[in-house]
Amino acid sequence: MHPMLNIAVKAARRAGNLIHRSTDKIDHLTITKKSHADFVSEVDRAAEQTIMETLLEAYPDHAILAEESGVHGESEYVWIIDPLDGTTNFLHGIPQFAVSIALQHKGIITQAVIYDPTKNELYTATRGRGAFLNDKRLRVTRRIHLSESLIGTGFPYTRFEHMDAYIGIFKDLMQKTSGLRRPGSAALDLAWVAAGRYDGFFETGLKAWDIAAGTLMITEAGGMVSDLAGEDRFLKTGHICAGNPNIHPQLLQIIAPHLTPALKG
């Protein structure tokens, strides 16, 4: 395993174990509202602290972009961290959340870890060396027809400027796929595309920390990732479409008539 990935795995496991231990005391946690329907708990912050300490102990000169505490330092190496992706699930006792850590080197994501502590599932990827779930090499599905595909997504719930376009896409896909799912953790949604559980995924308005690790996971598993217009600006815009190489273009085709100038990025 690449030494930088090894450190990221150590950080993700530490944070994941901390989150997992906290599931017994959800009712006693201090919870703050960041904006409409957007909550953060002391567990999110403690997990982020643990991750940062682990990474910076090994690589004190690296920079950090972390959801709860923002930007730290400046370097050609930037760790992009979501300490707890799926906070709403976590706060409701729903066991679908994960730790997501990616390393960006000179603007390119090179290492990725997503850890699901409830299922003890560790997803890892290194650019050019494949993606793995625990020790198993990952491949996206080979499904050809959209009508037989299962597609993951995330509903808008904090900001609603793309609501009408989203509902339009959703309505079309409801009728043209085998099913849609909204489990509530974008990082795991993307890992599940890589793992061949979903054939595709789309969502609007995500942040870099939600998707940085998952997108490398998908491309290393043989899948495709783009923004909703088929371009590669997804890390900046947060509008994302992913899938196996057959399903990804079919999703883009369904999405195209619903695109607004803002969604084109």
Residue 152: beta bridge partners? 181, 201
Q: Which does 48 bind (CB under 5 to 8 A by kind): ligand IPD, Ca ion, none?
A: none
From the CB of residue 171, how many other CB atoms can be counted at a distance below 10 Å? Answer: 11
Sole binder of ligand IPD in the list 54, 68, 86, 141 (CB under 6 A): 86
Residues 196-225 that bind ligand IPD (CB under 6 A): 203, 206, 210
Minimum CB distance to ligand IPD, residue 116 (Å) = 13
Whichever of 47 and 140 has its CB closer to ligand IPD, that residue is 47
Alpha carbons 207 and 67: distance in angstroms, whole number:
9
- Binding flag, residue 87, ligand IPD (CB under 6 A): yes
Phi-psi region of 133 (alpha: psi -120 to 50; beta: other; left: phi over 0): beta
Closest CA to 150 of 201, 223, 219, 206: 201
Alpha carbons 213 and 102: distance in angstroms, whole number:
5
Radius of gyration of the chain (CA): 17
Minimum CB distance to ligand IPD, residue 157 (Å) = 7
Alpha carbons 237 and 239: distance in angstroms, whole number:
5
Alpha carbons 141 and 195: distance in angstroms, whole number:
8
Q: Which does 86 bind (CB under 5 to 8 A by kind): ligand IPD, Ca ion, none?
A: ligand IPD
Minimum CB distance to ligand IPD, residue 75 (Å) = 24
Alpha carbons 107 and 233: distance in angstroms, whole number:
12
Sole binder of ligand IPD in the list 15, 18, 79, 82 (CB under 6 A): 82
Whichever of 130 and 156 has its CB closer to ligand IPD, that residue is 156
H-run or E-run covering 88: helix 87-91
From the CB of residue 260, how many other CB atoms can be counted at a distance below 10 Å? Answer: 11
Nearest residue to Ca ion, by Cβ distance, number only? 85
Sole binder of Ca ion in the list 82, 116, 203, 227 (CB under 5 A): 82
- Binding flag, residue 244, ligand IPD (CB under 6 A): no
Angle among Cα 84, 87, 93 to the nearest 5 degrees reads 115
DSSP label of 197: S
- Binding flag, residue 185, ligand IPD (CB under 6 A): yes
Q: Which does 213 bind (CB under 5 to 8 A by kind): ligand IPD, Ca ion, none?
A: none
Nearest residue to ligand IPD, by Cβ distance, number only? 154
Q: Which does 111 bind (CB under 5 to 8 A by kind): ligand IPD, Ca ion, none?
A: none
Residues that bind ligand IPD (CB under 6 A): 82, 85-88, 154, 184-186, 203, 206, 210
Residues that bind Ca ion (CB under 5 A): 67, 82, 84-85, 210
